[in-house]
């Protein structure tokens, strides 16, 4: 774990609200979706921060905010000590070489009319890195690095399977030798055997090039496999941050506990013996999130305070933070105010 | 299961004519499902698991599709029924739940109307009776305040709630066999847990047999009695659930179990990926179709392996390796006793 490494990127009180508009001619803003609501975290150089949560919790929005594919409603993104959250498009351009993203859907994220060489070479051309011959050589080298063959240069995306397409997406993200890659559900569209291939590839690349990842996913098994630290999101908030293994052995937030217990285990005996916490109800709307702790309507430990006072993210030592009035697996005297 | 099984599929072959040639989606598949039994059908995309179950219900209407073999349901061959006779089977005898609850409900009709429609297609009911039944069904699948929700449209339901509506529809005529095609794949884990609990409870209440198509071995471990593992249009392994998980015989099953990032085991340094890609169904390799990706391949693998019981107890597999050799080569499987005490 590279927990003593320097901070590469910090998100400070990041907010992203999407307006809900009504009206045909005059579009009035009638409500706001609180997709990401006051979230702070740090990513250190060379580490993988996993970001997990269920659909609609804001994890992808947060990932996109980090690489400035979304403008922020509030808060700051600090990359290598520099606030990048208010930079203009032009000012952002050089930064795009440092921050790249791999998208979830390998079918939708590659232009079907372009050849692989054009797709992977596009970032190099845009940034004017080399002449045609140099770019071609670099692209072929990238294809090899992601486990494809240089002969694939002139093929079209439809000639590839899902796993291979995701490799093309990874090659494109790698083209500019970025420092940070946001991987937004990079394997969720793939079959399990292919998932393992792509996860292993991402780990090899990290080792080889010293990459830093923000790994966004909903699959707790996948996140555990790749992450050094993990942040759990629920309804626009980070509810727990922990060193990876500790999250699974000692969850502090009741939502994390329920999430872990809901993952099906491929072992018939164990699946019967383990205790499964079935949460009642659905995730509430992010337009009018519940008062106090956002998880309280579904939480089995909730008391009165949970519906009135929003719990802050508190440190429990060893880099383990959680936002809960009734933390699990802790002795109350280990609590210290959050950093 | 001494009595005749509820469903018996014999040498089912499904192929599609395409511009590039004939796609053998299902290639000589035989299996049975007993009354009240939950059979998990696992495999990756393109392995033929959905096509084979859709063929059971004769829901594939592609004019380029060709079917061979028999599908015996309670002794009747569904393949030789007329379309009209088949309509009486669908919904009433064999019902289906689809993967995507977002697209499998009609957005312009109230959910109550959609349930009533199915009821009235199979039974003579007055409008009020059908509505009452619809409300009862919504209550049975755990939808709060069903007497109000019956008049809502699908977009007013969340994904998990829509899947509950789909299940209510499927159960409306108390089918003897329920085919569930990836019923929880589109749902979040906490909602998936709710739906799996519901399916388990309903199974006890309604006693339907369930064919559960899934790619998630965790879901299978949870609710199946028996498991079929499919690869490239064929069944490569079949048996009781515990036999498949604790004494898997086919290297593909080993690889499948090894490539999951499991929460119940210490984190491996690397996941065991299956090298290469599944074969094209247009040009299947000679012999064992898993051969080109199999690390245990040897000379005999160029011959077609038969699906036979080598270990006993109705545990079938299609692999040429001798049983003791397989047990030596695969990663140590956890035995149920050990798993229980761990």
DSSP string, B200-236: HHHHHHH--EEEEEES-HHHHHHH-SEEEEEETTEEE
Distance CA B138, CA A310 (A): 35
* CB neighbours of residue B201 within 10 Å: 13
DSSP three-state, residue A35: strand
Q: Positive or negative CA dihedral for A26, A30, A33, A34?
A: positive
Distance CA A172, CA A103 (A): 11
Mean pLDDT of the B302-327 span: 93
Partner-chain residue, chosen from A200, A218, A224, that has the shortest CB–CB distance to B263: A224
**Chain B window 298-317: which residues touch A at a Cβ cutoff of 8 Å?**
none
Partner-chain residue, chosen from A191, A258, A283, that has the shortest CB–CB distance to B215: A191
pLDDT 10s digits, B66-86: 999 999 999 999 999 999 999
Mean pLDDT of the B104-115 span: 92
**Chain B window 239-258: which residues touch A at a Cβ cutoff of 8 Å?**
241-242, 245-246, 255-257
Residues whose CB is less than 8 angstroms from the CB of residue B280 and which lie 6 or more positions away in sequence, other chains included:
none
**Chain B window 207-226: which residues touch A at a Cβ cutoff of 8 Å?**
215-222
Give contacts of B215 with chain A, Cβ < 8 Å.
191-192
Q: Which two tokens stand for residue B249?
A: 């015989």
Indicate if the pLDDT at residue A13 is higher than 60: yes
Q: Quick one: pLDDT band at residue B342, thresholds 50, 70, 90?
A: very low
The chain A residue lying nearest B337, using CA atoms, is A269
Angle among Cα B254, B213, B104 to the nearest 5 degrees reads 145
DSSP string, A125-146: HHTT-S-HHHHHHHHHHHHHHT
Q: Do the Cβ atoms of B262 and A266 come within 8 Å?
A: yes
Give contacts of A265 with chain B, Cβ < 8 Å.
218, 221-222, 262-264
Determine what percent of chain A falls in helix, strand and coil, rounding each to the nearest 5: 35, 25, 40
DSSP three-state, residue A311: coil
Residues whose CB is less than 8 angstroms from the CB of residue B332 and which lie 6 or more positions away in sequence, other chains included:
none
Q: Which residue has the tokens 């039974």?
A: B123
* Residue A221 in contact with partner chain B when CB distance is under 8 A: yes
Q: Do the Cβ atoms of B339 and A267 come within 8 Å?
A: yes
* Residue B102 in contact with partner chain A when CB distance is under 8 A: no
Rounded to a whole number of angstroms, the distance from the CA of B208 to the nearest CA of chain A is 21
Q: Do the Cβ atoms of B273 and A278 come within 8 Å?
A: no
The chain A residue lying nearest B265, using CA atoms, is A265
End-to-end alpha-carbon separation of chain B, Å? Answer: 33
Q: Which residue has the tokens 């791999």?
A: A102
Supply the mean pLDDT for chain B.
89
Q: Do the Cβ atoms of B261 and A266 come within 8 Å?
A: no
**Chain B window 138-197: which residues touch A at a Cβ cutoff of 8 Å?**
158-161, 188-194, 196-197
Q: What are phi and psi of B22, to 5 degrees?
A: -95, 125
pLDDT 10s digits, A249-306: 999 999 999 999 999 999 999 888 888 888 887 788 888 999 999 999 999 999 999 9
Distance CA B214, CA B185 (A): 8
Supply the mean pLDDT for chain A.
91
Indicate if the pLDDT at residue A136 is higher than 90: yes
Q: Quick one: pLDDT band at residue A178, thresholds 50, 70, 90?
A: very high
Give contacts of A197 with chain B, Cβ < 8 Å.
273-275
pLDDT 10s digits, A228-255: 999 999 999 999 999 999 999 999 999 9
Q: Quick one: pLDDT band at residue B159, thresholds 50, 70, 90?
A: confident
Determine what percent of chain B falls in helix, strand and coil, rounding each to the nearest 5: 35, 20, 40
Q: Quick one: pLDDT band at residue B338, thresholds 50, 70, 90?
A: very low
Q: What's the pLDDT score for residue B3?
A: 67
How many residue pairs bridge chain A and chain B with CB atoms within 8 Å of each other?
138
Angle among Cα A198, A203, A209 to the nearest 5 degrees reads 120
Q: Which two tokens stand for residue A302?
A: 């909730």
Give contacts of B189 with chain A, Cβ < 8 Å.
54, 218, 220, 259, 262-264
Q: Quick one: pLDDT band at residue B288, thresholds 50, 70, 90?
A: very high
Give contacts of A55 with chain B, Cβ < 8 Å.
159, 188
Distance CA A201, CA A206 (A): 9
Percentage of chain B beyond pLDDT 90 is 63
Distance CA A164, CA A148 (A): 7
Q: What's the pLDDT score for residue A332?
A: 63
DSSP three-state, residue A275: coil
Kind of pairing between the strands at A212-217 and A48-52: parallel
Distance CA B298, CA B248 (A): 19
Rounded to a whole number of angstroms, the distance from the CA of B86 to the nearest CA of chain A is 34
The DSSP output letter for B332 is P
Q: Do the Cβ atoms of A192 and B194 come within 8 Å?
A: no
Answering whether pTM is above 0.80, one says: yes
Q: What's the pLDDT score for residue A73?
A: 95
Indicate if the pLDDT at residue A213 is higher than 80: yes
Partner-chain residue, chosen from A193, A248, A278, that has the shortest CB–CB distance to B193: A278
Indicate if the pLDDT at residue A2 is higher than 70: no
**Chain A window 231-290: which residues touch B at a Cβ cutoff of 8 Å?**
245, 248, 258-271, 273, 276, 278-279, 282-283
Q: What's the pLDDT score for residue B295?
A: 92
Give contacts of B218 with chain A, Cβ < 8 Å.
263-266, 271
Indicate if the pLDDT at residue B341 is higher than 80: no
A197-232 burial by CB neighbour count: b if 16+ within 10 A, else e?
bbbbbbbebbeeeebbbbbbbbbbbbbbbbbbbbbb
Q: What's the pLDDT score for residue B336?
A: 44
Rounded to a whole number of angstroms, the distance from the CA of B260 to the nearest CA of chain A is 6
**Residue B81 burial by Cβ neighbours in a 10 Å radius (0-12, 13-18, 19+):** middle
* Residue B341 in contact with partner chain A when CB distance is under 8 A: no
Q: What's the pLDDT score for residue B4?
A: 80
Mean pLDDT of the A187-200 span: 88
Distance CA A163, CA A277 (A): 34
Q: Which residue has the tokens 């210290």?
A: A336
Q: Which residue has the tokens 């996109």?
A: A64
Residue of B14 and A283 predicted with greater confidence: B14
Indicate if the pLDDT at residue A3 is higher than 60: no
Rounded to a whole number of angstroms, the distance from the CA of A52 to the nearest CA of chain B is 12
* CB neighbours of residue A290 within 10 Å: 16
Indicate if the pLDDT at residue A216 is higher than 60: yes
Partner-chain residue, chosen from B161, B219, B271, that has the shortest CB–CB distance to A264: B219
Q: Positive or negative CA dihedral for B103, B196, B247, B29?
A: negative
pLDDT 10s digits, B249-279: 999 999 999 888 888 888 888 888 888 888 8
B2-31 burial by CB neighbour count: b if 16+ within 10 A, else e?
eeebbbbbbebbbbbeeeeeebbbbbbbeb
Give contacts of B142 with chain A, Cβ < 8 Å.
none
Angle among Cα B202, B205, B211 to the nearest 5 degrees reads 50
Mean pLDDT of the A11-21 span: 94
Partner-chain residue, chosen from A197, A220, A270, that has the shortest CB–CB distance to B339: A270
Distance CA A149, CA A144 (A): 6
Distance CA B44, CA B47 (A): 6
The chain A residue lying nearest B162, using CA atoms, is A282
Indicate if the pLDDT at residue B334 is higher than 70: no
Residues whose CB is less than 8 angstroms from the CB of residue A317 and which lie 6 or more positions away in sequence, other chains included:
A334, A336
Containing A92, the helix (H) or strand (E) segment is helix A89-96
Q: What are phi and psi of B44, to 5 degrees?
A: -90, 175
Residues whose CB is less than 8 angstroms from the CB of residue A98 and which lie 6 or more positions away in sequence, other chains included:
A79, A80, A176, A178, A179, A180
Report the phi/psi class of residue B159: left, alpha or beta, with left for phi > 0 and alpha for psi in -120 to 50.
alpha
């Amino acid at each position: 774990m590279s927990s003593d490494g320097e901070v590469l990127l910090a998100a400070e009180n990041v907010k992203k609200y999407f307006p809900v508009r009504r009206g045909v001619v005059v579009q009035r803003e009638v409500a706001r979706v609180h997709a990401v609501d006051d979230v702070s975290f740090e990513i250190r150089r060379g580490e993988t921060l996993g970001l997990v949560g269920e659909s609609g919790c804001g994890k992808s929005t947060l990932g996109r905010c980090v690489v400035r594919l979304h403008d922020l409603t509030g808060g700051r993104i600090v990359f290598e000590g520099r606030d990048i959250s208010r930079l203009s498009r032009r000012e952002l351009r050089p930064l795009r070489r440092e921050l790249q993203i791999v998208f979830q859907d390998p079918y939708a994220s590659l232009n079907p009319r372009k050849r692989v060489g054009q797709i992977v070479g596009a970032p190099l051309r845009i940034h004017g890195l080399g002449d045609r011959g140099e770019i071609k050589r670099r692209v072929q080298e990238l294809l090899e690095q992601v486990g494809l063959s240089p002969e694939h240069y002139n093929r079209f995306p439809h000639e590839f399977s899902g796993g291979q397409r995701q490799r093309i997406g990874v090659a494109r993200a790698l083209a500019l030798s970025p420092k940070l890659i946001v991987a937004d559900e990079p394997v969720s569209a793939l079959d399990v055997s292919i998932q393992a291939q792509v996860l292993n590839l991402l780990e090899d690349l990290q080792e080889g090039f010293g990459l830093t990842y923000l790994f966004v996913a909903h699959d707790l098994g996948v996140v555990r496999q790749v992450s050094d630290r993990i942040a759990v999101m629920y309804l626009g908030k980070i509810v727990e941050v922990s060193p990876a293994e500790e999250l699974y052995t000692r969850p502090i937030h009741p939502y994390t506990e329920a999430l872990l217990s809901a993952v099906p285990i491929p072992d018939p005996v164990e699946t019967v013996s383990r205790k499964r916490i079935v949460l009642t109800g659905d995730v509430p709307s992010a337009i009018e999130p519940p008062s106090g702790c956002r998880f309280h309507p579904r939480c089995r430990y909730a008391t009165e305070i949970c519906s009135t006072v929003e719990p802050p993210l508190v440190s429990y030592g060893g880099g383990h933070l959680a936002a809960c009035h009734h933390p699990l697996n802790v002795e109350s005297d280990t609590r210290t105010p959050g950093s | 299961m001494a009595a005749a099984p509820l469903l018996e599929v014999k040498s089912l072959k499904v192929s599609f004519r395409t511009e590039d040639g004939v796609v053998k989606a299902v290639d000589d598949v035989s299996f049975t499902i007993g009354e009240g039994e939950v059979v998990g059908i696992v495999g990756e995309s393109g392995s033929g698991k959905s096509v084979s179950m859709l063929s059971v219900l004769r829901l594939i209407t592609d004019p380029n599709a060709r079917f061979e073999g028999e599908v015996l349901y309670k002794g009747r061959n569904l393949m030789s029924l007329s379309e009209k006779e088949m309509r009486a089977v669908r919904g009433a005898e064999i019902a289906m739940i689809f993967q995507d609850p977002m697209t499998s409900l009609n957005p312009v009709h109230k959910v109550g109307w959609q349930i009533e429609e199915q009821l009235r297609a199979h039974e003579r009911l007055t409008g009020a009776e059908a509505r009452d039944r619809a409300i009862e069904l919504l209550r049975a699948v755990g939808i709060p305040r069903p007497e109000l929700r019956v008049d809502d449209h699908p977009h007013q339901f969340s994904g998990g709630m829509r899947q509950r509506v789909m299940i209510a529809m499927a159960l409306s005529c108390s089918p003897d066999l329920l085919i569930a095609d990836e019923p929880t794949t589109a749902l979040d884990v906490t909602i998936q847990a709710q739906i799996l609990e519901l399916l388990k409870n309903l199974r006890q209440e309604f006693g339907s047999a369930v064919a559960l198509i899934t790619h998630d071995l965790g879901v299978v471990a949870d609710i199946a009695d028996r498991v079929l593992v499919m690869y490239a249009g064929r069944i490569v392994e079949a048996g009781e659930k515990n036999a498949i998980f604790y004494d898997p015989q086919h290297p593909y099953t080993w690889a499948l179990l090894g490539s999951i990032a499991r929460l119940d085991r210490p984190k491996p340094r690397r996941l065991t990926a299956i090298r290469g890609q599944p074969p094209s169904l247009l040009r299947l390799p000679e012999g064992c179709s898993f051969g080109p990706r199999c690390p245990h391949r040897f000379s005999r693998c160029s011959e077609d392996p038969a699906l036979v019981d080598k270990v006993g107890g109705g545990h079938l597999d299609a692999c040429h390796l001798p049983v003791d050799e397989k047990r030596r080569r695969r990663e140590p499987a956890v035995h149920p006793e050990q798993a229980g005490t761990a």
